[in-house]
Amino acid sequence: MLEVHLLKRGLIVSCQAEEGSPFDDPIFIAAFAKAAELGGAVAVRIRDVKNIKAVRKEVKLPIIGLTKGTYPSGYVLITPRLKDVEELIKAGTDIIAIDATSRIRPNGIDGATFLREVKKRFDIPIIADISDLNEGIKAAESGADYISTTLSGYTEYSAAGYDKPDLELVKQLAASVNLPVIAEGKFWTPEEAKTAIKLGAHAVCVGTAITRPVEIVRRFVKALQE
C-alpha cells in the first residue's frame, strides 16, 4: 500500500498524449515520465496498459493508472470496467484512478457503486475522480483513498464557466472530506498549483501544461493572434 505522505505537497505529472499527437507512443510517454522523475515529481498519471508497462521499466515513481472509455453522451469515462482495473494492476500500477461521478455508466451503475465494487475485489489505493463537492463526499463515503478534482468542468453539469483550476472545489473538499485531496484540471502555472496547496490540497496533478507540446504551442499561437 502506497504511503499517503509520499505525495504530500508534491507534483504529480499526467503523462498522456492526445490521439493524433506525434507523442502518442509508449516510448514518448515513458520519456515524459522519466523527465517528470528527474524534475522532482512524486508520481505520474498514465493511461493504458501498454504505456504503464513502458513507464514501469523507466521510472521508480508511483504510477497512477487508468483507462478511458466514453459515456453514451460522448463524455470521457475513466476506467470503465473491473477488467480494466485488473489489467492495470498486472501492468504495474500503484494507484488506480476511476470515474466516481454520479453519471450512470453503460453497465447501469454510477461511479460510487463502481468504486465500492473495486474496493471489494482489489487491494489497491483508489483515486476517485469527481466533478463537484457532493460527488467527492459520496466517493469518500464509498471507500476512496484519495479524492481528485480531475473532472470539474468535464461533466455535463460542470462544463460551463471553468477555464481555470476549480480552486473553490479544492477548498470545499479539503474542508469536507477526511481524505487527501488532489487538485487536478486546468493548472497552467506554478502559482496556481501553490494556491491549491494553500487551500488544502494534498498534492497537485498537472498534465497538458507539461506533457502536451501541441496544446502548449496552440496557446502561444492563439495569444499572438488575439
The tens digit of pLDDT for each residue in 120-161 reads: 999 999 999 999 999 999 999 999 999 999 999 999 888 655
The whole-angstrom separation of Cα 221 and Cα 31 is: 26
What tens digit of pLDDT does each residue of 160-170 get? Answer: 556 789 999 99
Per the structure, the count of domains in the chain is 1
Identify the domain containing residue 117 by its residue range.
Answer: 8-225
Q: Considering the domain boundaries, does residue 1 fall inside one?
A: no
Q: Considering the domain boundaries, does residue 2 fall inside one?
A: no
**Predicted pLDDT at 2:** 62
Q: How much is the pTM?
A: 0.95
Q: Considering the domain boundaries, does residue 15 fall inside one?
A: yes
Q: Considering the domain boundaries, does residue 166 fall inside one?
A: yes
Q: Would you state the cell numbers that stand for residue 226, as one nine-digit string?
A: 488575439
Q: Considering the domain boundaries, does residue 170 fall inside one?
A: yes
Q: Considering the domain boundaries, does residue 3 fall inside one?
A: no
Torsion region of 21: left, alpha or beta (phi above 0 gives left; psi -120 to 50 gives alpha): beta
Provide the CATH number for the domain around residue 145: 3.20.20.70
Q: Percentages helix, strand, coil for the chain, rounded to the nearest 5?
A: 40, 20, 40
Q: Considering the domain boundaries, does residue 29 fall inside one?
A: yes
The whole-angstrom separation of Cα 13 and Cα 39 is: 10
**Predicted pLDDT at 140:** 98
What type of residue is 79? Answer: T
Q: pLDDT tens, position by position, for the chain (226 residues)?
A: 566 668 999 999 999 998 889 999 999 999 999 999 999 999 999 999 999 999 999 999 999 999 999 998 889 999 999 999 999 999 999 999 999 999 999 999 999 999 999 999 999 999 999 999 999 999 999 999 999 999 999 998 886 556 789 999 999 999 999 999 999 999 999 999 999 999 999 999 999 999 999 999 999 999 999 8
Q: Considering the domain boundaries, does residue 195 fall inside one?
A: yes
